[in-house]
Amino acid sequence: MCIVNNTTDLKTFLYAVHIPTFILGLIINVAALWILCTRLKKLIESTIYMINLIFSDIFLLFSLPFKIHADQKTGEWYLGEMFCQFVESLYFVNTYGTILLITLISLDRYIAIKHPFLAQTLRSPKKAVIACTMMWVCIWSASIPNYTQNENNQTMNKCFAKFDAFWESGAIPLSMEVIFLISAVTVSFCSIQIIRTLRRVHEERDDMNMRTSMNIVTTNLVTFLFCFTPYHIAMLLYLLAKQYCWKEYLDHLRGFLQITQCLANVNCCLDGMYYCLIIKEFWKSGIKNTEDTRSTYTS
């Protein structure tokens, strides 16, 4: 009875978090996309990365109702094997698409702020498009095994439930851990360097905009680590339990993994802080260009 109640409580928790995440995430991302589409006059590096991040979040949010349905039905699935594989791929691909895009945004901002002369060589809209394209090709290529292995849905039409081959080989989970570790170190390093540079400028000029930018960068870093670190710790622990047959811990770790996975999905809403910073820069750039144009006409 205790196990049933725990399972019921877990499903209720996941349901209670996933629904607001889906609604708020959709509103925030669609609103950000609308602002860019209606106000954007030209593509710059920051907006290219942000547009890709918005689409990554929207694609993940599209898969969320189907994951909610599968979780509530203990994986039962009657929408077809191919569609299940597609939704599973959409969910996991865009989780790591978000991680990698946040990493690219952090690197782009670090180069622009910390190395402005080097940025003239390393940064351009074309290079940003190439970086995003390579990222999408790599992560979608990594989802190919999900289509070639039919084990996921052979038993009782399960979806988001059977990943025995995924855990037994260990290669893919370890690759995901390495990707996150590299991304977390990169985002942390870039964010700390950006904050130090902005703080120095703020102390010299007492600029309120610098303080706001520092707060947003700090919040972005904390949010990134808060959303994704517990999930990857849980995944590593679950992998170890699977590999070393720690059966007495599997049920608890499976619940922990689902909770932290749910927490990672909340990042779709919290990415709005990235949008806030980049859209703010876009408006400042637009105002500056307008002022430059006026001074040209009046001189």
For residue 136, the domain's CATH number is 1.20.1070.10
Does 187 reside within a domain?
yes
| Domains identified in the chain, total number | 1
How buried is 202 (Cβ within 10 angstroms: 0-12 exposed, 13-18 middle, 19+ buried)?
middle
pLDDT tens-digit series, residues 93-149:
999 999 999 999 999 989 988 888 888 888 899 999 999 999 999 999 888 877 776
Does 91 reside within a domain?
yes
pLDDT at site 272: 77
Does 211 reside within a domain?
yes
Does 198 reside within a domain?
yes
Rounded (10°) CA dihedral 78, 81, 86, 88: 70
Q: Which residue has the higher pLDDT, 272 or 114?
A: 114
Predicted TM-score of the model (pTM): 0.85
Does 121 reside within a domain?
yes
Distance (Å, rounded) from C-alpha 175 to C-alpha 239?
12
Distance (Å, rounded) from C-alpha 250 to C-alpha 262?
18
| Chain Cα centroid distance, residue 247 | 31
Does 299 reside within a domain?
no
Does 70 reside within a domain?
yes
Mean pLDDT of 144-160: 64
Does 136 reside within a domain?
yes
* Domain boundaries, position 9: 2-293
CA-nearest of 219, 228, 227 to 191 is: 219
